[in-house]
A and B are shown apart, each in its own frame.
Chain A
Amino acid sequence: EVQLVESGGDLVQPGGSLRLSCASSGFMFSSYLMNWVRQAPGKGLEWVSGSSGNGANTYYADSVKGRFTVSRDNSKNTLYLQMSSLRAEDSAVYYCAKVIAADSLDMVFDIWGQGTVVTVSS
């Protein structure tokens, strides 16, 4: 079964840092573009970041560029999101999502994790 499991969400103070993880199973992780999508409480979906299969290419929304870093360890089948200089508006459920086709930039998310909650507050 294809599965994504996020972890690492927590309550953090403004200006703080946090690292999220997304552990995958059931597919060839290194062949897939992987993404982070977030959802603030009561709001819609916002794409945050993406990482190509080999990690060589990374992509960011303007709202997080320079503060967040996406990376992956293909030997551990795990995607990461290092978040720094956190702001209240970064508070959200963070989902990782897999694209539908291997070796592709087709941004269609067929598998999502259950999400991990990040709360930025003093």
Chain B
Amino acid sequence: EIVLTQSPATLSLSPGERATLSCRASQSVSRYLVWYQQKPGQAPRLLIYDASNRATGVPARFSGSGSGTDFTLTISSLEPEDFAVYYCQQRLNWPPLTFGGGTKVEIK
């Protein structure tokens, strides 16, 4: 089973700041890494797939990078609606499909 470790657990930032979220895999997942955003009481929303491809309708301020075991989700300038929990997920080796534990981006 591939374990995904996200850091930090919580990121406290102000609107307009840059957010950098990390996801590290226990073994290489090539570029088969996905990012989701989840707001309280809502289902997750697809943001980025295959490390760097933005999903339909996702603003350009969201970008993904990385390959192998180290991946980054960057939000270039935080908007009020971006404060949420972000999860990474690998799709290279399943079952089981695995998710990271999440990073909460909160308002400072």
Contacts and interface: CB of A to CB of B under 8 A. Distances in A.
Interface in A26-74: 35, 37, 44-47, 50, 59-62
Nearest to A95: B43
B69 interface: no
B98 A47 contact: yes
B34 interface: yes
A61 B100 contact: no
Contacts of B94: 47, 59, 107
B95 A60 contact: yes
Contacts of A107: 34, 89, 91, 94, 97
Interface residues of A, number: 22
B4 to A, nearest CB: 10
B71 interface: no
B49 A45 contact: no
A110 interface: yes
Interface string B17-50: 0000000000000000010101000111110011
A9 interface: no
Given A100-B49, A108-B49, A47 B44 contact: no
Contacts, number: 58
Nearest to A60: B95
Contacts of B99: 44-47
B87 A110 contact: no
A114 interface: yes
A47 B95 CA distance: 9
A62 B98 CA distance: 12
Interface of A: 35, 37, 44-47, 50, 59-62, 95, 100, 106-110, 112-115
Given A109-B34, A109-B36, 13 more contacts: A35-B97, A45-B36, A45-B44, A45-B87, A47-B95, A47-B99, A59-B95, A100-B46, A108-B46, A109-B44, A112-B43, A112-B44, A115-B43
